[in-house]
Structures are given as structure tokens and as C-alpha cells.
Amino acid sequence: MFKKVVIALILPIVSCTNVNQMHRKYLEGDEAQFDRIVEIVSRTDYPYATRRKATQILGQIGDPRATPVLIAALQGYEQRTTLKQDVVASLAQIGDQTAAQPIGRLLDRSLNTADADLRMAAVDALGNLGGKKSAEILVNALRYFDLLLLRDEQRSRKGVFTGEEQIFPFGPMLTDSTGRHSPRFSNPAMGGLLGQDQYPQMSMFGTPINPDEMQYDPTPEERDRTHRSLVLIGEEAVMVIEDFFVDNEMTLSLRNELLEIVTEIKGVKKNESVDD
């Protein structure tokens, strides 16, 4: 029994080492190693850490032949999101813009608070990937984050008519009638909004859970990253934003931010021209 446990602990380390060896042999001219690394990413029976390492190496290699397998990895169910974070980063490194739409679909499926790191990785990847489709997805993401922040602002602690401080029963980062915080996102399967006393006290890994940490609101950071990614895309983002102005109604805050992004992009281009 002891030997089995030791083997189970060592296997991920050995496997990652093997992937590194495959990469080294590939760099030395052994093209067959590329297919072996791709296969590791595609197979869920390999250790999670090994698949992550293989994914990262495919990004370093930068061969577009890996794109379909990496995109397929975005579709699989994983309780942990770090593999998919590696996948979107590698897709951005490869630079195949056909990956933009699958990354957008990943964002569609990742709206829980727990997926914030994955969303931010996807937003960063779209900025690095570039292209019109990436810009379209990022503009839609910016509109989504803008609406979330606007909703939070509208749930003000002050009464609209009296100006008095209020205690609301629902809402992100607000308190209920007992003065306890309510979570930003509810879980319908668990009966709706949870009070602080209803949070699980222990994680599935046996570590204590701090309810205050579960109430972290990632929206401002996500909005900032989306802004920066659109600026990074450049002129193609400007064209997408111009079309968005024509086809959509929007809040004043979103309109001002999109105009700011256009100004930043044109300012960067102007500075580059001067430097040239």
C-alpha cells in the first residue's frame, strides 16, 4: 500500500519531467515529439499537472497545428480552472485568431464568481490574440461589466427620496436585515441567497473558509483588464467600437469608456509615428 502511495505522488513529477524531455528533443529536431505533447493535452487520463505543462510547452512552440486540441481542452469539464487558463494563454501565444470565438464561448460559460481568474485570463488572451472577433467579444465583455457595476451603484445605501442610509435585504456586497453581508452571486440549487451563517465552514480540501473572502468582487479588475486588452488590439478595436456606437444603445459610462479607449489607441499610434 505504501509503495502505491509513493508511486502516485511521484508520477506527476516524473511525467512533467518527461514532457520537458520531449520538448528538449523537439528543439533538437525530433518532430515526432510534437505529436506526443499534443496527445498529452488531449488525454484526460494523464495527470493534471502533466497536461498543464504540455499545454504551456505548446504555447512556447507556437505551432498552429496545436490549436484544435487546445480549443477542445476548453470544452472539457474541470473543477479546477488553471489548465484552461494555461490553454487560453497558449492560444494567444500561438496567435491563431480562430481561437477567439471558442474563448468567447468559454467566457459565456464562466460567469460565476469562482471563475474570475479564468475570465481574466481569457480577457488577457483575447487582447494578445488581437483581431476583429477578439475586439467584438471584449466590447461585449466591457458592456457586461459596465452593467454589473451600474447595478451595484443603483443599489445605493441611501434612500432615493429621503437621502437616509438604508439597509437592503438583497444585493451584491450589501447587508440583509440582520446586518450580515449577502453574496454577489447566488446558487439557485442551494435555495437562493445565502446568509453568512449558511456558508460552509470547511472546503472540500479540509481548509477553513472565510466568508468575507468569498465576497470579493472581481468586476472592477475585470473591467480594467478588458479596457487594457482593447487598447492592446489597436485599430481593429477602433473599427469595432465605431460599429458598436452605431448599432447599440449604451450607458453614459460605457460610452465614455469606449471613447477613452479610442483616444488611447490613437494616442499610441500617434506616438509611434513620431518615434518612427
pLDDT of residue 114: 82
**Under 8 Å CB-to-CB from 91, ≥6 apart: which residues?**
59, 67, 70, 71, 99, 103, 125, 129
Q: What are phi and psi of 175, to 5 degrees?
A: -115, 155
Instruction: Report which of residues 159 and 232 the model is more confident about.
Output: 232
How far apart are alpha carbons 109 and 186 in whole angstroms?
16
Handedness of CA 73, 76, 79, 81 (dihedral sign): positive
- Three-state DSSP class for 146? helix
pLDDT of residue 193: 34
Q: What is the pLDDT of residues 243-266, one digit of tens each?
A: 999 999 999 999 999 999 999 999
For 1-129, CATH number out of 3.30.379.10, 3.90.1170.50, 1.25.10.10, 1.20.1180.10 equals 1.25.10.10
How far apart are alpha carbons 155 and 70 in whole angstroms?
41
Q: What is the pLDDT of residues 238-248, one digit of tens each?
A: 999 999 999 99
How far, in Å, are 67, 89, 103, 203 from residue 98 at the CA level?
A: 9, 14, 9, 38
How far apart are alpha carbons 34 and 40 in whole angstroms?
10
How far apart are alpha carbons 76 and 42 in whole angstroms?
10
Quick one: average pLDDT of 144-148?
89
How far apart are alpha carbons 73 and 77 in whole angstroms?
9
Instruction: Report which of residues 159 and 253 the model is more confident about.
Output: 253
pLDDT of residue 44: 92
The mean pLDDT of the chain is: 79
Q: What angle do CA 206, 210, 214 make, to 5 degrees?
A: 110
How far, in Å, are 8, 56, 95, 110, 257 from residue 22 at the CA level?
A: 22, 13, 23, 33, 46
Q: Which residue has the cell 468569498?
A: 214
Q: What is the pLDDT of residues 175-217, one digit of tens each?
A: 433 344 444 433 333 333 334 444 445 444 454 545 554 456 7
Please give the biggest Cα pair distance in the chain.
Answer: 75
How far, in Å, are 170, 189, 210 from residue 181 at the CA level?
A: 9, 20, 13
pLDDT of residue 268: 65
- Residue ranges per domain, the chain? 1-129, 130-156+167-184+218-276
pLDDT of residue 77: 81
Q: What are phi and psi of 171, to 5 degrees?
A: 125, 155
Q: What percentage of the chain exceeds 90 in pLDDT?
A: 58
pLDDT of residue 52: 96
CA 17 to chain CA mean position, Å: 28
DSSP 197-256: GGS-SB-TTS-B--HHHHT---HHHHHHHHHHHHHHHTHHHHHHHHHHHHH----HHHHH
Q: What is the pLDDT of residues 96-131, one digit of tens each?
A: 999 999 999 999 999 887 899 999 999 999 999 999
